[in-house]
Amino acid sequence: MPTSTSGTVAFLGIGLMGSRQAKRLLEAGYALTVWNRSREKAEALSPFGARVVDTASEAVSGADVVILMLENGKIVTDVLFSQGVAESLRPGAILVDMSSIKPAEAQEHAKHLAERGVHHIDAPVSGGTTGAEQGTLAIMAGGDAGVFTRVEAILKIMGRPVHVGPHGAGQLAKLANQIIVGVTIGAVAEALLLAQRGGADPAKVREALRGGFAESRILELHGQRMVERDFVTKGRSVTHLKDLDNALDAAEKIDLNALPYTTLTADLFRGLIANAGDLDHSGLLVELEHRNNILPSG
């Protein structure tokens, strides 16, 4: 398995994240074949040298490395085992699934692919579209350490990969990430709402908190979105809710039955989606306003 641009790579899933990740690989000189359910999204990469094909199975035929960035576990399973991808992968190929799915699903996929002689790494990411564009994604990889080493150079083009354990461990790390991010977004939203309701300037409160113990990327970025009421989707609330539900499902399977912060945050996201739609996840502020019967300030 090559660790340079001599290897052929297939990329399945050219959405908000995948399009930016694939573009970075093209700019790094990789021979890239791309596929997406709606072909026009994949066609946008043609000017950068991508080979666009009509089917997922055609995309992976002969590839050394296959990268998936799909919406959920059900879609990953369908693409792998109902659309001919597993059958078309050559023995010895490495499939890197960067989708955010359930740990149990990742383990099941790894098992079935191993039966065909195909290696599997689950490598979900955090960092949003900005991280995907800049190549600064946090990449949490599960699977065989030796196989991870063989694709580490490719992953480094997209971000900072860390091997965290066996199959499914990458997905567990992503769920841990989503718990921390979701709970912290909720805490920042509550704090700024309290400040504003009490008569303080939330923008100035945010400024005052910067650099202290409350400092975080969430206060920096999502806090700014809340102050500006910029809830245009950069991180989908629907996706974050899916991840929190997956975390609760994984916890139940290992007899962790009390995750109150995760449970409450999932409930907040559920309310946000029902009441305001699929806003950026910083829109938890909108749901808190709704629950307190507060009209938006702008």
Catalytic residues: 174
50 contacts 72 by C-beta, under 8 angstroms: no
HEC assignment per residue over the chain:
CCCCCCCEEEEECCCHHHHHHHHHHHHCCCEEEEECCCHHHHHCCHHHCCEECCCHHHHHCCCCEEEECCCCHHHHHHHHHCCCHHHHCCCCCEEEECCCCCHHHHHHHHHHHHCCCCEEEECCEECHHHHHHHCCEEEEEECCHHHHHHHHHHHHHHEEEEEEECCCHHHHHHHHHHHHHHHHHHHHHHHHHHHHHCCCCHHHHHHHHCCCCCCCHHHHHHHHHHHHCCCCCCCEHHHHHHHHHHHHHHHHHCCCCCCHHHHHHHHHHHHHHHHHCCCEHHHHHHHHHHHCCCCCCC
What does the CA dihedral 267, 270, 271, 275 come to, rounded to 10 degrees?
Answer: 180
Long-range contacts of 275-278 (CB under 8 A, 24+ apart): 278/233, 278/236, 278/237, 278/238
Nearest to 231 by CA among 239, 241, 221: 221
